[in-house]
Chain A
């Protein structure tokens, strides 16, 4: 696998666009204060008062989408478009909103978009109408939003991207699995370039579900629990030779992918994380990348405040990579579930660009001054894990 990353766009708690992302991460651990900055805007009433969330603060869709044509879109769709637009510009695939002559065009740029819970708020919105009023009153214009792949479909319409559009849902592993989807379709020449990434939002149903499960960090300061984050992030990914042929600047290459699943030992269990799956996914990714464990400078890990999950990941990483620094990037930008792998990749790209490696590694190992090769891991809540290997250009 050799995928060139030629640009990216983010809609994050730090703002919209690559510049806001890099400016925040240049502050190191202090970026956290920008991300978790105040009362939730997504959660209303009592919920928002106590929630500790990292949201795309003050997001005004009109600023990025104009003031027409997006009334039926849900928040996820708007965030995805807000990330897609700068990704297409940053990679030079579009200039001033138009495809660049001689480069990939509408027919050859596709989307591989990840999410874990994408359309949950849209489903809740319509369920409220159906349950409290009458199912016959649900808004037909909002109904398509309940379909998980609708958000990526709207991005394709908005940006006129007609090559394959793929939505990937694999819980926390979704975004890294979307990278494999892009690699697969590029290898088969089904497209020349993909927007790869996805989005996740802070929503009332998801927040309540996590609160009911007792896994939120709200009100605690012992490092336990999930701090919900949100945002969207897309990378332009191409075959290396195609990127070079069009004179694109290559930021980094994805050179290996691995994935694995291990069931829990008890038939009664459903939620669990597996150190063996993590180890296997990382080994597979390193083997494909032809990278030895000793060549890995840093791991952008999936640790998100759940003891069992984080422990399984740390053990799996230790088994394969020994004392390589494990950097829990979610501490800066929150748990973004399906898109968390893409946010981790955006962290890695910032490190490649010279931003300090932050936050402090969970295993207490000091990261090298210069990072050139990184592993990114994602650990699912049901025993699955995925990993990619990224190398600076």
Chain B
């Protein structure tokens, strides 16, 4: 079992591009919510979202790449290029079959599909441009990215809805541990598209004003978009090229609620299983966790159940907690990837960004929240929590370099009852 390190991060978010702008906005608690500009929302019941504003693909992509890629892939490529630069990776480190690309998403190039279908529905089959058809395909996300970076190893899409980022990062780490790759470009990307925005609105999930996770008066989530990418490397790769380590990937845990397609399990069963697995497979105990980056969507059900899970795992000693979604919105498939970037930056700086709009403590959410103002703290170990439609639960553990014990034999973890 090989160690896996994070050596670079890149992000395209509703509050800024690149780690510096992103982090500054997150720590300052500047919300990305604004009236929707990318599509006509005038006929919808909700008209505010956390869109990525001012993103110009040509600032990050070649002309040929920009022609091939939809917005979702373009944001992933942009974030990846920032991560590669952050990691000081050269082409020779990335090119070839030992680099894997693993990306999560919910709907991939949803707006490419939306445009194709709108043409077909309104103007008939002949109006659909054949050359545009192959530009839709969820599988394209890692393909575009691999082409951009010269990677020729595994290309993998993990569509795990709002837990997709953690799925992708965890799975990429697995491949490095197993020796199937030395470097992995892992994360997730998502765009806001009219249909899916309208769907969330029809489910009554979108807040009419602001997103206030864990607040007693929370009224729903704010839809967001963006891309978060981590560069993962084996220990050998880090040593070979003298890379700077930003964090170490611990374990990750996956489980399925098998309860309801959109609602969480009433006792948080799957989420508890996944979080236990993530902590135990890192060779840690719950008391070793300093900080939890919450799923924290701001919906009544999620925040209540997540609080239950945290109480079950951590008991009276609750680690500090924050929800980036109060600022970034819920970037769906990209959420836990962007939040993983935030986790890495917290480990690097010892700062936890605030959960904004928090005014009314909720007895049903008895959490140790970093409310409204960023906080400095000792952060050696962070747990990145996520959950999704389909009952998917995925939890990732990250730590400062030198904190984690050597990777554990899965048999030992199993013997403790934390896995199957």
Report A's interface with B, CB cutoff 8 A. Answer: 104, 106-108, 110-111, 116, 120, 123-124, 126-128, 130-132, 134-136, 138-140, 143-144, 146-150, 152-154, 156-157, 159-171, 174, 177, 181, 184-185, 187-192, 205, 208-209, 211-214, 259-263, 267-268, 270-271, 277, 280, 380-384
Nearest chain A CB to B414's CB is how many angstroms away? Answer: 4
Q: Are A181 and B128 in contact (CB under 8 A)?
A: no
Among B136-144, B216-224, B242-250, B370-378, the one that faces the other chain is B136-144
Contact A169:B175 (CB < 8 A) given known A153-B391, A157-B258: no
Q: Are B157 and A170 in contact (CB under 8 A)?
A: yes
Q: Are A110 and B256 in contact (CB under 8 A)?
A: yes
Q: Cβ of B196 < 8 Å from any Cβ of A?
A: yes
Q: Are B258 and A164 in contact (CB under 8 A)?
A: no
Q: Are A140 and B156 in contact (CB under 8 A)?
A: no
Residues of B61-81 whose CB lies within 8 A of A: 62, 64, 68
11 contacts between A and B (CB under 8 A): A108-B420, A128-B121, A147-B390, A148-B106, A149-B390, A153-B392, A165-B256, A168-B156, A169-B158, A259-B154, A382-B140
Q: Cβ of B364 < 8 Å from any Cβ of A?
A: no
Among B15-23, B198-206, B304-312, B338-346, the one that faces the other chain is B198-206
Q: Are A149 and B138 in contact (CB under 8 A)?
A: no
For B380-401 the 0/1 string (1 means CB < 8 A from A) is: 0000000011111000000000
Q: Are B198 and A149 in contact (CB under 8 A)?
A: no
Q: Are B270 and A162 in contact (CB under 8 A)?
A: yes
Residue of B nearest to A161 (CB): B258
Q: Are A146 and B43 in contact (CB under 8 A)?
A: no
Q: Are B68 and A270 in contact (CB under 8 A)?
A: yes
Contact A166:B174 (CB < 8 A) given known A212-B125, A261-B153: no
Q: Are A127 and B114 in contact (CB under 8 A)?
A: yes
Q: Which of B159, B253, B260, B391 contacts A169 (CB 8 A)?
A: B159
Contact A190:B254 (CB < 8 A) given known A108-B420, A162-B270: yes
Report B's interface with A, CB cutoff 8 A. Answer: 43-45, 62, 64, 68, 97, 106-108, 113-114, 116-118, 120-122, 125, 128, 130, 133-135, 137-140, 143, 146-147, 151-161, 167, 171, 174-175, 178, 194-196, 198-199, 201-204, 253-262, 269-270, 273, 277, 281, 388-392, 410-411, 413-414, 419-420
Q: Are A167 and B159 in contact (CB under 8 A)?
A: yes
In the bound complex, what is the Cα–Cα distance between A132 and B269 (angstroms)? Answer: 41
Residues of B within 8 A of A144 (CB): 261-262, 389-390
Residue of B nearest to A132 (CB): B121
Q: Are B254 and A138 in contact (CB under 8 A)?
A: no
Residues of B within 8 A of A111 (CB): 256
Q: Are B419 and A177 in contact (CB under 8 A)?
A: no
Q: Are A261 and B107 in contact (CB under 8 A)?
A: no
Most chain A Cβ neighbours within 10 Å, of B159, B160, B420:
B420
Residue of B nearest to A205 (CB): B117
Residues of B within 8 A of A171 (CB): 137, 139
In the bound complex, what is the Cα–Cα distance between A135 and B45 (angstroms)? Answer: 10
Nearest chain A CB to B269's CB is how many angstroms away? Answer: 7
Closest 5 CB pairs of A and B: A153-B390, A164-B254, A135-B198, A108-B420, A143-B199
Residue of B nearest to A130 (CB): B195
Nearest chain B CB to A387's CB is how many angstroms away? Answer: 13
Residues of A within 8 A of B255 (CB): 162-164
Nearest chain A CB to B401's CB is how many angstroms away? Answer: 23
Contact A152:B390 (CB < 8 A) given known A140-B203, A157-B260, A261-B143: yes
Residues of A within 8 A of B195 (CB): 123, 126-127, 130, 135, 138, 146
In the bound complex, what is the Cα–Cα distance between A195 and B156 (angstroms)? Answer: 19
Residue of B nearest to A167 (CB): B159
Q: Which of A135, A167, A189, A383 contacts B420 (CB 8 A)?
A: A189
Q: Are A135 and B391 in contact (CB under 8 A)?
A: no
Residues of A within 8 A of B167 (CB): 166
Nearest chain B CB to A287's CB is how many angstroms away? Answer: 12
Contact A384:B143 (CB < 8 A) given known A149-B161, A188-B281, A212-B133: yes
Nearest chain B CB to A61's CB is how many angstroms away? Answer: 17
Nearest chain A CB to B48's CB is how many angstroms away? Answer: 16
Contact A169:B161 (CB < 8 A) given known A160-B258, A181-B171, A260-B97: no
Q: Are A189 and B413 in contact (CB under 8 A)?
A: yes
Q: Which of A165, A167, A187, A208 contacts B125 (CB 8 A)?
A: A208
Residues of A within 8 A of B143 (CB): 261, 380, 382-384
Q: Which of A140, A154, A188 contacts B174 (CB 8 A)?
A: A188
Contact A184:B117 (CB < 8 A) given known A162-B255, A169-B157, A213-B130: no
In the bound complex, what is the Cα–Cα distance between A165 and B391 (angstroms)? Answer: 9
Residues of A within 8 A of B120 (CB): 205, 208
Residues of A within 8 A of B414 (CB): 189
